[in-house]
Amino acid sequence: MKKSLISKSKFLSLILRHAPEEIGLTLDAAGWASVEAILANTRQPLTRNELIEIVETNPKQRFALSDDGQRIRARQGHSRDVDLGLQPVVPPDVLFHGTSVAVRDTILTEGLKPMGRQHVHLSADVESARTVGARHGKPVVLQVASGALHQQGQAFYLSENGVWLTGPVAPEAISE
């Protein structure tokens, strides 16, 4: 993504995941918002071309446009109740969680929690998890026994951009 679009992408994350009211935006039950309402905001001016470029080039593919291009939403990471319409799926036996060394011991003791979001986010591979962890400091990658958790009844969802979503993960299901 172009450097000039990074702050606009972060703004989209803010209003589509956490605080739509900051620009008087309304999200529907599935997290969709009007593209026109976002383009009309004056706090962080965006053109339609910039918005489309952010959706298409965001390295984490955080956003989705509706088929008709009239609505946009974040694919996951909401701190408010949003129904993304995802169906439970069988996860691989092991998924990965990238975090920082600074919180490693807390996670191993207390488990993984959504931390104000709807779901815990997990990665299918070590490298993706390491990239996520590096955003928070020196990265560490933890393994989650997702297959065993699934067999015990815990639901797992796979978002459109490949991020695995689940509820809290007990420390017993986490290892290094």
pLDDT in tens, 55-114: 999 888 999 999 999 999 999 888 888 898 999 999 999 999 999 999 999 999 999 999
Phi, psi of 92 (to 5 degrees): -65, 165
Q: Which CATH class is domain 3-74?
A: mainly alpha
Give the end-to-end CA distance of the chain in Å, rounded to a whole number.
32
Q: Mean pLDDT, the chain, as a whole number?
A: 94
Instruction: Locate the domains of the chain by residue range.
Output: 3-74, 95-175
What pTM, to 2 d.p., does this model score? 0.80
Output the six-digit token pair for 90: 């069988």
The pLDDT, as a whole number, for residue 73 is 96
Could you say which DSSP state residue 25 is in?
A: -
Residue 140, SS3 per DSSP = strand
Q: Which CATH class is domain 95-175?
A: alpha beta
